[in-house]
Amino acid sequence: MILYPAIDLKDGNAVRLLRGDMDKATVFNEDPAAQARAFVEAGCEWLHLVDLNGAFAGEPVNAAPVEAILETCNVPAQLGGGIRDMATIETWVEKGLARVILGTVAVENPDLVREAAKAFPGKIAVGIDARNGMVATKGWAEETNVQVTDLARSFEDAGVAAIIYTDINRDGAMQGPNIEATADLARTVGIPVIASGGVSSIADLIALRDCGAALNGAISGRALYDGAIDLKEALTTLRE
């Protein structure tokens, strides 16, 4: 299972939010590219990037720090937040992004996801952010009446590379991931699932890994910044 260290970008800084609240942001590094390099030097094989301002604005806002990360790090990166049209997707792929995460647009314009997955094989992921089993959009600000499993299953034949499943209530709360919901999704959908939200210990990572091969990876942010998870120890454990 791959461990994806998270770099959430707000106003050019690497931050962590509590349950998606932009007013509850803790700045962990004013140089996101330096933070990315530190993760890579520790042995990370992927980076998970989120343009938080972009998620609310509906268009890229933190492009400069993302570009700096892509220029200085030699590992693949995935990015979500405010990517809602083909032109933006194409721009990021051309800049070297390994995987584009489509969230809000997956609900509002699922045909775009299918078009993008066909145009850029292996480079499109669907981000499903959930609160109490229902999908939330626009930076988690709006709740829908769409169920997580229904949305995920609707893309089984689209050719997307992964589903990134975030439990909003757990995100940044250091309370552990929603393992039951994550495992259920991984078992029922024929697309690799990456878990996000609440991963706060190596024990959490082991529990997710034990969900089976359908769970492709786990994203962790605050626990890495706070030191609750020793990154090198976690990477070693997951490779055993």
- Active-site residue, selected from the candidate residues 129, 167, 171, 204: 129
3-state DSSP call for residue 90?
Answer: helix
Helices marked H in the chain — which ranges? 32-41, 52-57, 63-72, 86-94, 104-108, 110-119, 148-153, 179-188, 202-209, 222-226, 231-239
48: its two tokens: 């998970």
151: its two tokens: 């949305």
Is the Cβ–Cβ distance between 128 and 107 less than 8 Å? no
Task: Identify the pLDDT of residue 173.
Answer: 53
Is the Cβ–Cβ distance between 217 and 186 less than 8 Å? no
Is 8 catalytic? The answer is yes
What domains, with CATH codes, occur in the chain? 2-239 (3.20.20.70)
For 25-42, b/e burial (b = at least 16 CB within 10 A) is beebeeebbebbeebbee
Residues of the chain with confidence (pLDDT) below 50: none
- Active-site residue, selected from the candidate residues 8, 51, 167, 204: 8
Task: Identify the pLDDT of residue 131.
Answer: 87
Model confidence, pTM: 0.94
Task: Identify the pLDDT of residue 126.
Answer: 98
Is 226 catalytic? The answer is no
